[in-house]
Amino acid sequence: MSQDTETCTHQIVYFGVTNVNIDERTIGSVDIWRCAICKKRFCEEKQLGIDSIVDYVGMPKIDPDEKWAILVRKLFKGKDRWKLVRLKQNGTLKVENPDDKVVEIPVNNFQVTDPQHASFLIDDHVNKAIEI
């Protein structure tokens, strides 16, 4: 039986990586870490050539009902085209786009359902590449 993730004193170990490719060229990646005790996963966005963008202290937080995902913004190019996000099973994903506009994207069964966006669950792409 796994422990409640909220009371777990996580023992984080490296788990894998998901590469983000455009035309088969890697432009960024997501490092995946996992707690050896409760198996909760933690992800960190890495843009190629930029040291990690740390806007938190310690491991990035994720709620028990959320999954890590890569959001693809089809209207944007290059590094602005993707972003690491947390998806709930159903509801709305609120993200700030590179043009400073906040958009609300509908989410259905851990997938964004919007013609201008796509999403890929990290859990399904450990040690794989995602072509965006």
Region near Zn ion per CB under 5 A, out of 4-12, 49-57, 68-76, 109-117? 4-12
Q: How far apart are the first and last CA of the chain?
A: 37
Vertex 81 angle, CA 59 and 65, to 5°: 40
As given in the structure block, the two tokens for residue 21 are 């490719």
Residues 51-110 binding Zn ion (CB under 5 A) are none
Q: How far is the CB of 40 from Zn ion (least distance, A)?
A: 5
Residue number, 59 or 103, with CB nearest to Zn ion:
59
Q: CA-CA distance, 120 to 111, in Å (whole number)?
A: 7
Interaction pattern, residues 18-47, with Zn ion; x per rule: CB under 5 A: -----------------x-xx---------
Region near Zn ion per CB under 5 A, out of 6-14, 64-72, 92-100, 121-129? 6-14
DSSP structure string for 61-84: P--TTEEEEEEEETT--GGGGEEE
